[in-house]
A = this chain, B = another copy of it.
Amino acid sequence: MSEALIDQFVETWGAMGNSWGVNNSVARVHGLLIITDRPWCIDELVERLQISKSNVSTSLKELRSWNVVRKVFLPGDRREFYACEPDAWEMLFNIMRQRKQREFDPILASIATTCEQARQCPGGIAVERLGQMKQMLDTFDRLAGMAFKSEAQIKALVSLLPKKK
């Protein structure tokens, strides 16, 4: 019975991954590690999720690159086990940090360059609009920087929010 609930969560997490550009297998592996809250080795994951070993292997590599999963060595077992980051907020922050670095920073840099060049030679370009965009992205950048630097405060702040409904 509870197996079905696990599946339910794993599939939901997979769907979440899908809408956020994360490969389905990657998200499913992650979901399983989250919901069972214990280390799994590759073959167990293959068996449980019914996907190939290569797929599991690359998915775990990906998850480690996001700092949301780490290797765990269990005494007396040669196999490598994998466990997910135990703190949900920490997990979220790790993902956001990585995404920002990989997907946001280069774009901000590129737009800053364009903005600089446009100042010299306007032409058909809407310099004002470009500036507005740049300013918005800068603000985003600053906010993210602040949040990542004072994670603890953010979490504390969040915990003070009025409770649901």
Contacts and interface: CB of A to CB of B under 8 A. Distances in A.
A82 B2 CA distance: 52
Contacts of A75: none
Interface stretch (A39-47, A54-62, A66-74, A156-164): A156-164
A52 interface: no
A51 interface: no
Contact of A124 (B36, B142, B158): B36
B34 A88 contact: no
Interface residues of A, number: 51
Contacts of A21: 19-21
Give the secondary structure class of A's interface.
helix
Contacts of A103: 16, 19-20
B142 A111 contact: no
Contacts of A135: 88
A143 interface: yes
Nearest to A118: B5
A152 interface: no
Contacts of A38: 126
B161 A125 contact: no
B110 A5 contact: no
A25 B126 CA distance: 21
